[in-house]
Structure 1
Amino acid sequence: MVQKRLFIFTLLLMLIAAEMPAQKLVNPQEDYTWTLIQSGQSLGNPIDYRRNDHSVVYYGSVGSIYLSRDRGQSFTPIGTTIPNSTRVKNIILSEKDTLTFLVAIEASTDKIVKTTNGGNSWTVVADNLTFSYFGIPMTRDPAHPDTIYTQSNSTFMKSTDFGSTWTNVNTSMPLATPCDIEVFPDSTHIILIGDNTTGIYRSTNSGVTWSQVFTTSGEIPTIAVAKNKPGEAWATKWSGGGGLLKSTDYGATWTLVGFSGRNLWGVDVSPESADYVMTGEYSGGRIYLTKDGGLTWMTTTISSSNYSVVIADTFSIFAAQGAGFFKMNLPYPIPVELASFSGTSENGMINLSWITATETNNLGFDVEWSTDNSSFRRIGFVGGKGTTTSQSSYSYNFREPLAGKNWFRLKQMDHDGSFEYSNVIEVDFEVVKNF
């Protein structure tokens, strides 16, 4: 009889295990913790960072903008308060001008404002708008950084001059309460919108026409597209059963991949690895991280409600919570401490030099060059010293610069495949003419 009961109990356990959600939650790791860096009142996704310099991070709260130059370790308020703003919904930094950025705000009538002087003055560039209360109103076209999309009520709009002017793309949208807009980086004509009450909508002609591709009775707060895995996207569900959705066909179809019954909110994918994904639980005080594309998940704990998670790189991970800006504390140090990076023009070439204070598992450095401080390409590689606590010096000579301004950055790579970008430096090159 005892053996029979044991067999039945074992069989029940097997049946329960077979019906468990697809995701596997790994035991929480105490080394992954969160610290409140800047108190505030978050909503939407009020965080952005410079794509060519991850040490520069912006955060918005109520009507104030805060700037960090140390990867979100500390913040300083900048500029003047945005007039009439009661909430900062999201920020988009210009990739061409470090003093220019857009801010979507809640006010008596919602607005998009623009600054060209680092927040010292503000110009309303879109007014009399209505944003969904919890939504992220704006998104950029990754391949055309001056192209911005937004939606107000049933009108989908587009700007091609970084928000200065707007044109209506569709004035009879099938949804009126958008939560998030996302554009695929390798197929920018494909746009996704998650809405507040019905599901996910998709356009394949840059927003002219739309079709519903996923239906829910709840909300789709956030969508994130992979930067280096074509066609892959993730979306969170709040209410309507909750959970996390995934698409591998540019948003045409969606599959619930886990977290059923949990009301999720923010989600983001690392620009370095499509398998490195993070999602936040709205009111559960938990943020989940996977490094294997969702096969296993690690649970981290955090205070207050989640609105967004942002992965600048695997060393710079942020969350906008109801209490403000949080940064994740990681159990591993930044692998290479760069002490200096500079360039000089001489003898018909540009000489780059840099010094590291310490190195851990350092494979080496890709040297990248740009003529517009936006698009960079690899021009060379310099091997690293592996692991050392001694100061190390490096140099690289670039023999094909263009006359005028040239921009450079280093892509430091570990032996395990992870990498991190340095700050960008600018070097003026003057062509010497012989007479």
Structure 2
Amino acid sequence: MKRLLVLLVVLFTVFSSNTVVAQNWLMQNSNFPADVFVINFSAVNNQVCWAVGQKYPANSTPYAGYIRTTDGGTNWTLNTIPGITNGYLAEIFAIDADTAYVTCYKLVGTTGTIGIYKTTDGGVTWNRQDAYNSSQTGPGFIYFFDSQNGVVIGDYLETYTTTNGGTNWNPVTMPTPLTNEWTWLGESRFTVSGNSIWFCTNKGRIFKSTDKGYTWAVILSESQYYDWRPCIAFQNEQIGIYSLNMAANATDHIVRKTTDGGTTWSVISDPVLANLAPSTIQYIPGTSSTYILVAGRVATMKGTAVTFDAGETWTLLDTTGCFLVNFASYAGGWGSQFETNVVYKYVGPPLPVELISFTATSNGQKVILNWSTATELNNLGFEIQRSAEGKEFFTVGFVNGHGTTTEQQNYSYADKNLNNGKYFYRLKQVDFNGSYEYSDVVEVEWRAFNSYLLEQNYPNPFNPTTTIGFGVQNKSNVKITILNAIGEDIAVVLNEEREPGFHQVEFNAANLPSGVYFYQIRAGSFTETKKMILLR
């Protein structure tokens, strides 16, 4: 399958690494007024996308309009959020075609509407949520990890989290800001991977959280880059790309890469990037290490570039000049141009992907491996390889591939007759001609179960999250509840059917005061209770 990547690179670079051979964007009618441009996209999939706009020049005239498509951009519906006065829409995050969140801010020293707005009916109605009631300017970046857990970050580092879909937003203690430090709004100033979040400020600092926004640390501080425009994107919790443009002279720019979560950065030297002043960088969801970079602010340094190897080498795709992009998957996304109402849809070749996901789970009887591919080329199949120590691997099975296909394929393999312990697995993908490549390694703890089990939570004491492990003997409904010191139920952590085996759930006590609590499991006729301590 790796030859798919090679073929696409050849397609893009027939003449030389700097030659544009294709224009890959289809212009669509956004229905925004002529003086409005897209400030932020939220692509749910290749059919559903939301976007918010601002009048240009930016921050010149308040505007509360947004657009939405459910047919891949063939039709965009324009609407406005009611009740907003002298406010500017900053960011939008869509869960699906019906549910979305929008942040609204005002300019410093002015009177205007600020807050978080939510719709659950495709924009027919919007409700303001309880947060940023006395903020200087209001919220900016917003992100949801799932339908319930989200985080929002304001212009002056004011941050909130929610565990119930925004019904309640809880303030977060942030590192002390520098004088006149604020977050950059729009484009790719924020990025999320797993439970980690990174965002940039105008003072050359990068903030990072590894627990969905509950705690934060400054991981980079570079005073020489005050007021440079940043772009940041991560493919996982370790590898990412970060660029900076001098605000006063955007032709001066630097692009760097990290492999340790953002602690250290190394400069990427590539001739393609020398002629592009980045305005957005995005990791393409579902790919192993593909990023797209667009430059659309400087007339002489416009273009779209792509990397398939996490920034080591870049290919110029076109010179369209998008300044903002948002991809839902490797197959397509949307872009916009700076201070015009033009919206583009990416219609070029699919950005290559090999393995979308690879996971290992234990159910007490066997280890289940699941993996998915988005496209395949001459794929004979997969050798399943196992190791007890993570170094020497042995082949334990083989699963046939689907040859050549552009449709997503899902695979599964069950490894049985194991001894208790930790195991490491990897896939060896083999082509028909014998060439092969390895997947990343996944690990799993396997234990045989012939009874129910409730483990002590870890860590304990904890603040504010802890993990509860439990074992299930037979397939049954498992309910785990949290009780206060007098035995009253105060939260339900889990209430669903689980397969036999060992499982873990995370409990977040962000809304509870310090104290002694109990957690109780009920599964079939099995009941057990243990004590936990929340210590702030």
| Alignment TM-score, normalising by the size of structure 1 | 0.61
- 1:8-87, aligned counterparts within 5 Å? 26-39=17-30, 40=32, 41-42=36-37, 44=39, 46-50=40-44, 53-62=45-54, 63-70=64-71, 72-77=72-77, 80-84=80-84, 87=88
CA–CA distance in 1 between the matches of 2:123 and 2:274?
A: 42
Q: Report the counterpart of residue 200 of structure 1 in structure 2.
A: 206
Identify which of 177, 180, 185 aligns with 2:182: 177
| 1:75 counterpart SS class | coil
CA–CA distance in 1 between the matches of 2:65 and 2:113?
A: 18
Structure 1 pair 57/42, CA: closer, same or farther in 2 (3 Å)? Answer: same
| 1:67 counterpart SS class | strand
- 1:122-133, aligned counterparts within 5 Å? 122-125=126-129, 126-127=131-132, 129=135
CA contact (8 A) 1:33 1:300 kept: yes
1:159 and 2:162 correspond: yes
1:235 and 2:242 correspond: yes
Q: Report the counterpart of residue 299 of structure 1 in structure 2.
A: 316
Q: Report the counterpart of residue 258 of structure 2 in structure 1.
A: 247
What's the Cα RMSD here?
4.2
CA drift of 1:149 comes to 2.8
Q: Which amino acid aligns with 2:84?
A: N
1:315 and 2:331 correspond: yes
Q: Which amino acid aligns with 2:77?
A: P
- 1:266-285, aligned counterparts within 5 Å? 266-284=280-298, 285=302
Q: Could you say which structure has the higher strand fraction?
A: 1
Q: Report the counterpart of residue 422 of structure 2 in structure 1.
A: none
| Alignment TM-score, normalising by the size of structure 2 | 0.51
CA contact (8 A) 2:174 2:216 kept: no
CA contact (8 A) 2:296 2:337 kept: no
CA–CA distance in 2 between the matches of 1:295 and 1:54?
A: 28
- 1:96-135, aligned counterparts within 5 Å? 98-107=97-106, 108-125=112-129, 126-127=131-132, 129=135
| 1:221 counterpart SS class | strand
CA–CA distance in 2 between the matches of 1:112 and 1:275?
A: 33
| 1:296 counterpart SS class | coil
Q: Which runs of 5+ in 1 are unaligned?
A: 1-24, 336-358, 366-380, 397-412, 418-435
Identify which of 226, 247, 257 aligns with 2:235: 226
Q: Report the counterpart of residue 91 of structure 2 in structure 1.
A: 90
CA–CA distance in 2 between the matches of 1:88 and 1:141?
A: 21
CA–CA distance in 2 between the matches of 1:37 and 1:119?
A: 21
Bigger RCO of structures 1 and 2 (CA < 8 A, at least 6 apart):
1
1:264 and 2:278 correspond: yes
Larger radius of gyration: 2
Q: Report the counterpart of residue 307 of structure 2 in structure 1.
A: 290
CA drift of 1:255 comes to 2.1
| 1:178 counterpart SS class | coil
- Aligned residue pairs: how many? 321
Percent of residue pairs identical = 18
CA contact (8 A) 1:184 1:250 kept: no
Structure 1 pair 333/211, CA: closer, same or farther in 2 (3 Å)? Answer: closer
Q: Which amino acid aligns with 1:56?
A: V
Structure 1 pair 159/35, CA: closer, same or farther in 2 (3 Å)? Answer: same
CA drift of 1:314 comes to 2.2
Q: Which amino acid aligns with 1:232?
A: I
CA–CA distance in 1 between the matches of 2:380 and 2:79?
A: 39
CA contact (8 A) 2:257 2:311 kept: no
Q: Which amino acid aligns with 1:330?
A: G
CA–CA distance in 2 between the matches of 1:277 and 1:326?
A: 18
CA drift of 1:27 comes to 2.3
Identify which range, 263-272 or 168-177, moves more after superposition.
168-177
CA drift of 1:213 comes to 1.2
CA–CA distance in 2 between the matches of 1:89 and 1:294?
A: 29
CA–CA distance in 2 between the matches of 1:27 and 1:199?
A: 33
- Superposed CA deviations along residues 78-99 of structure 1, whole A, max 9, x for unmatched, are 665444376432221226xx52
CA drift of 1:178 comes to 1.1
Identify which range, 202-211 or 320-329, moves more after superposition.
202-211
CA contact (8 A) 1:275 1:293 kept: yes
Structure 1 pair 115/262, CA: closer, same or farther in 2 (3 Å)? Answer: same
CA–CA distance in 2 between the matches of 1:309 and 1:236?
A: 15
CA–CA distance in 2 between the matches of 1:124 and 1:302?
A: 40
